[in-house]
Structure 1
C-alpha cells in the first residue's frame, strides 16, 4: 500500500487508551469549546501543524458512507471529510440542496461507527437561519463530528464549481459563522471551517468576508473556486490563517499537486470528485463487463471472494462472533 506522504507529529503522539488503564489524564491541545472533545482537539491540532509548514498538508478524498470512510482510513489518510456533494451522489442526486441536516447527522453517526479518525462534515448553509446553523453545529458535534463547514451560499446551495450559485448578504454570512462559533464555544468543541463562495462578486468581497470569518473566530477559512496559483498565493497572504483548497478535476480551480498546495501555504486540500468519479466509472465498467459475459462465460472476477468478504467486514465480525461464542 502506498504510504501517506505527509507526516504529522499530532498523529504520532496520539494516545490510545488501553482497557486496563484507570485514572488516565488526557492532555488535549488546541481546545476551544466549553466541553472538550478529543477528536476536535486532534483535528484542530492537525490543521494548526499544517498551517505555514510548507512540508505538510492535510490532503484527503471526500467520503459518502461508512465503507468509503473505512477504506480511506485503511489507506492511511489522517482524517475523514463527509462531503455534501459526495453524499448527494450516493442518493443518486446532484449537490443542489436536496440533502437535509438529519440525513447528514445520520451519515456522521454511520461513519463514526466505522473509523477512528476525526471527521469533518459539510454543513452546507446550516439549513436555515443562524439559529438553524447553531442547531446544525451542535447536532453534528453530538453525532460524532470533529469539525463542520458552514458556507454563505443562498438555499438551495450548489456545488461550488457548477453554475447557478448566489450568496447571502455579508450580514447574514457573518451571523451564520457567529452562530457556529457560539455553538462551539458554549457547547461541545468542534472545529469551525467557514466557507465563502463570494468570489463570484469579486476579489474584495471574498477577502473581506474571509477576514471577518477569521475575526469572528472560525478555525479555518475556505475561499471556493480560486482560479490559479497566483490567486491562491495572494489569498493565503491576505487572510493569513489555516485555509482549505478544493480540487475538482476539470473544475474552476487549477489542478496542482498537494505538495505544491502545501508550499503555497494551504493547511488542507479536499478532493470531493475523486471517489464519486471512481464509483461511477467502476460500476459502469462492471455492468458492461457483466453484460458481455452473459453469452460467453462466467463474469469477470473483479476481486477475489476473500477480498470482498474481508473488505465488507465479515472477518472482523467472525472474530467477535467467536469471542462471544457460548
Structure 2
C-alpha cells in the first residue's frame, strides 16, 4: 500500500487515531516504535528543531520538504506534512502538494492563513479571503488529479477573527473542493468542538496544544464528539526540551545525570544500531584473502 492508501484505510476505521507529532526522523521513529498508527510533522516543532526559530513562516519550502523526506525514509507509518499556506499563490500550492507526494507523505496540510503564517495558538494570525482560500484547495486537488498520490488536510484559522460560523462555512467548502480531512483550528470550548463535528462532513482533526486555546479532552471524549484524529503537535518537543534543560542543569552543577538519561543500550537499540548489525551480518565476506 502507498502511504496515502494506508492513511485512507485508517480513516475508514470507526475510531479516534491519536497522533503524536514529530519534528525529525528520530522523533518520528520513536512514534512508530511506540505503536502509533500515524504522525504529523509539526511546523512549530520542526521550525524550532531545524532552524532554532519560531513557527512564523521562516522555513522555506525546500527546508520543510527535506525534513519530510528524512522522516518518510526513516519510518513506514503515514506522515501528514505541514504545507503551510502553500508557499505562494495557487500554482505554488500545486507544486507543494506534488512535492510532498513525491517525498512520500500520506497527506499534506494546506491552510488559509495570510503569509507569513503563524502558529494557530499564538497572536497575530489572519486569514486570506474566501476566494483565495478556496483557490488553494482547488489547486491542491488539481495537483492530485495530475497524479499526486496524497490526501489533502484543509485547515482554516477563521475562528480567530471571524467566528465559528465562518470557519465552518470555509471548511464545508473545502470538503466540496476535494479536501479529505478538515481541520478547524482553535475552537475555544467543548461545545464548539461538538458543533464543528456535527455540522462538518467527513473526517475531522482536533489539534491539542497543552496550554493552548482548545480544551485538552480525554481521548474517549474526542472520539465521542466525532473526531477521527487527535493531533498533539508540541507534546514530544516540550518533553524533549524539558528533559534537556533538566540534564543541562544537572551537568552544570556536577549533579548525577543518570536518573534523567536513557540507558546506552536502549538508546542504541531505538536509533537502530542493533538492527543494522543484524542485517549487515548477511553481507560479511569470508576471511579468506582476496587473490588476484
Match of 1:104 in 2: 64
1:82 aligns with 2:41: yes
Match of 2:172 in 1: 211
Q: Please say which of residues 298-307 and 139-148 is displaced more in the overlay.
A: 298-307
1:263 is aligned, of 215, 224, 232, to: 224
Query: What is the distance in 2 between the residues matched to 1:42 and 1:320?
Result: 26
Match of 2:258 in 1: 300
Query: What is the distance in 2 between the residues matched to 1:309 and 1:234?
Result: 47
Query: What is the distance in 1 between the residues matched to 2:262 and 2:158?
Result: 45
Cα offset, 1:299, TM superposition: 4.4
1:232 is aligned, of 189, 193, 206, to: 193
2:245 is aligned, of 284, 301, 305, to: 284
8 Å CA contact 1:57, 1:269 repeated in 2: yes
Match of 1:318 in 2: 277
Match of 1:155 in 2: 115
Match of 1:65 in 2: 24
Query: What is the distance in 2 between the residues matched to 1:111 and 1:195?
Result: 22
Cα offset, 1:185, TM superposition: 1.9
Query: What is the distance in 2 between the residues matched to 1:310 and 1:203?
Result: 47
Query: What is the distance in 1 between the residues matched to 2:190 and 2:257?
Result: 46
Query: What is the distance in 2 between the residues matched to 1:299 and 1:276?
Result: 20
Query: What is the distance in 2 between the residues matched to 1:311 and 1:46?
Result: 25
Q: CA RMSD in A?
A: 1.3
Secondary structure of 2:74's aligned partner: coil
Number of aligned pairs? 282
Secondary structure of 1:309's aligned partner: helix
Deviations 1:114-138 (A, max 9, x none): 1111111111101100100000000
Query: What is the distance in 2 between the residues matched to 1:204 and 1:38?
Result: 36
Query: What is the distance in 2 between the residues matched to 1:67 and 1:203?
Result: 37
- Matches of residues 174-213 of structure 1 in structure 2 within 5 Å? 174-200=134-160, 201-213=162-174
Deviations 1:21-68 (A, max 9, x none): xxxxxxxxxxxxxxxx6220110221232xxx3xx1011111011110
8 Å CA contact 2:247, 2:257 repeated in 1: no
1:272 is aligned, of 228, 233, 236, to: 233
Match of 2:4 in 1: 40
5+ long unaligned stretches in structure 2: 286-292
Query: What is the distance in 1 between the residues matched to 2:109 and 2:239?
Result: 24
Q: What's the TM-score, normalizing by structure 1? A: 0.84
Query: What is the distance in 1 between the residues matched to 2:253 and 2:276?
Result: 35
8 Å CA contact 2:42, 2:234 repeated in 1: no
8 Å CA contact 2:97, 2:148 repeated in 1: no
